[in-house]
Amino acid sequence: MAQCGLPDDDAELRRLLTPEQYRITRQNGTERPFDNAYWDHKEPGLYVDVISGKALFASLHKYDSGTGWPSFFRPADPTEMVEIPDPASGEITIAEVRSRTSDAHLGHLFSDGPEPTGMRYCINSAALRFVPVDQLRDQGYEQYSAWF
């Protein structure tokens, strides 16, 4: 399911997603820390949008932030990120992060990440689907193989 078309309507989206995926991506939910699929996931590969299949993050840019959510210091494709500033959230939080193609709520961007960017994309696992390195070609993500 690489970079497929989007579902035609909300009913189809509800059918395709788990209730948790729908709550996170469409109702701006947040998973519980340390109780989600990818917070401690270390396999090399690509994390893609659970709705659109667009590449979002690579395992090469993932790190343990100690927060209990998958954290990345940069996106795989910055053009796929929509950052909505949240001025009321405090000094460290910069923005809500959404997927440009599917408009899925992904998580939040913070300014307390590691070098080289200083950014922390704190992302809900339910908004992601993981594609292992050995499946990149078969699933239509061959252009990212050179990263690994």
Enzyme catalytic residues: 122
The amino acid that residue 82 corresponds to is V
Place of tokens 């998973």: 31
Question: Tokens for 50?
Answer: 């659970």
Residues 6+ apart with CB under 8 A from 5: none
Place of tokens 């959510």: 69
Question: Tokens for 109?
Answer: 């961007």
Euclidean distance between CA atoms 49 and 101, whole angstroms: 9
Q: What is the residue-wise DSSP string for 41-102?
A: ---SEEEEETTT--EEEEGGGEE--SSSS-EESS-S-GGGEEEEE-GGG-SSEEEEEEETTT
